[in-house]
Chains A and B, each alone.
Chain A
């Protein structure tokens, strides 16, 4: 099988290309929009640049080649969703949101929902560490997600909230433990309500593991009025020294990042919350779901276009990530 990787010059792209090669796929780096003839899958590891991804997906589609995207950039979400929804059933698959959040988050939500008769609330919480080798990527993700206005799904309708607000403490698997998270811009509130018709609320919250850096980033993110990649990069540059100083001051004893999905609904007469989570290094969380999606697409095991969670089942997807070392954990509550 042959895979083409777009954005292979980035750290994430290099990692995805390496993992695909290790999985036995002949992997070649191509530019966005380049011909997809002869490939079994086109994999995009771009962050942002939805127009480049759409051009590449169209080029892939013209040769009947599936296209998978790990783009988690909140600014790109709406354009990519609209493009995926415009695809016909007979077209080659275009699968978006093949990351950890969005991506694995939706799959875990669907897995949890199986234990419920109806889903009322879905909350995705993530935390990134700025202490390890992925600190710059973690910072960029947090800055982008915690600035501007976030779409949330409340009382059965989409609404906008100020990102970086409504903080709460969430318990992640060890060694992360309790961490503060705030409303974050994300793709899940746009897509998950479609998977659970009775749901009233879908919200994504995110944060930084190191409290001091987290507070500083939120302060900066709240001042960025144009929540675009460009303005964030400018703000990151301007405040870069300050953040670096804070990183030195607020180092954590570990560099783990993680995500937790809480699905609340009814089971019989009772209200029940199922909580699932993953914890790993940010580079693994970013790349492993994309690699597994690409392998499934290359094998022809993904049919139709849309978000990752709508195109695969937990049974077909989770063994691939478990095999690569990402373990899913479930919370047994003290009171249950």
Chain B
């Protein structure tokens, strides 16, 4: 692996770009998971039918 990396022709700029893209992708995944989690958050309480207000 280490040898592959050393031999790689990918320059420093390309490596930086890949790192940024990777971080952005991770951020997007984290955002999606966070929002899903928030959406399935615990209910604030129980909604009960009020019934007839005259009763």
Q: Could you tell me which A residues sit within 8 Å of B by CB distance? A: 111, 169, 171, 173-174, 177-178, 211, 276-277, 314-315, 318-319, 322, 327-334, 336
Contact = CB atoms under 8 A, between A and B. Distances in A.
B45 A333 contact: yes
Interface string B7-47: 00000000000000000000000000001001101111111
A319 B52 contact: yes
A111 B41 contact: no
B46 A332 contact: yes
A319 B53 contact: yes
Given A318-B52, A331-B48, 10 more contacts: A178-B39, A327-B50, A328-B53, A330-B50, A331-B44, A331-B45, A331-B47, A332-B45, A332-B47, A336-B45
B43 A315 contact: no
B53 A330 contact: no
28 contacts: A169-B38, A169-B41, A171-B45, A177-B43, A178-B38, A178-B39, A178-B41, A315-B53, A315-B54, A318-B52, A318-B53, A319-B52, A322-B52, A328-B49, A329-B47, A329-B49, A329-B50, A330-B48, A331-B44, A331-B45, A331-B46, A331-B47, A332-B48, A333-B44, A334-B43, A334-B45, A334-B46, A336-B45
Contacts of B39: 177-178
Contacts of A171: 43-45
Contacts of B45: 171, 331-334, 336
Interface residues of B, number: 16
Given A169-B38, A178-B38, A277 B47 contact: yes
Contact of A174 (B38, B47, B49): B47
A334 B44 contact: yes
B15 to A, nearest CB: 34
The 3 tightest CB contacts between A and B, nearest first, are A171-B44, A173-B47, A329-B47
